Amino acid sequence: MGASGTVDTMDMSDPLTVVLVLLGVLGLIGAAVIGFVMWRYRIPPRGLIAMIGALVYLVSPIDVLPEVILGPIGLLDDAGAATAAAVFVYKIVTVHRRLKDAGVKGRRKPDVLE
């Protein structure tokens, strides 16, 4: 709130502010998508790690360098990271479903020695 009791709006004229706001929004959307996919398809932890790794790369400041240097062609690395994570998770889900359809319940727990 401002000094007069009114709500101040964010100054979006600064390019850095716009980039940071967009990165925050993309991060939140990505987290929501990851949460939904994990809940819907019961993704194992290694799939979660792949999705979070791709999301962290996509919203990291290091990822901005190819776009700055190469322009729109620099977006190819983003597409590659997202595609690699999606293919990896798809394969995990497919194998998990096949095992479930075949009657495999999951990892066998080791017998406890008494």
Q: Would you kindly state where each structural domain of the chain is located, as residue ranges?
A: 15-101
Q: How confident is the model at residue 17 (pLDDT cuts 50, 70, 90)?
A: confident
3-state secondary structure of 42: coil
% of residues, the chain, pLDDT over 70: 82
Given a contact cutoff of 8 angstroms between Cβ atoms, the answer to whether 89 and 50 are in contact is yes
Q: What percent of the chain has pLDDT over 90?
A: 4
107 versus 15: the higher-pLDDT residue is 15
Please compute the mean of the pLDDT values over residues 92-105 and round it to a whole number.
84
Q: How far is CA 56 from CA 14, 40, 51, 53, 82, in A?
A: 24, 22, 9, 5, 11
Give the integer Cα–Cα distance in Å for 83 and 50.
11
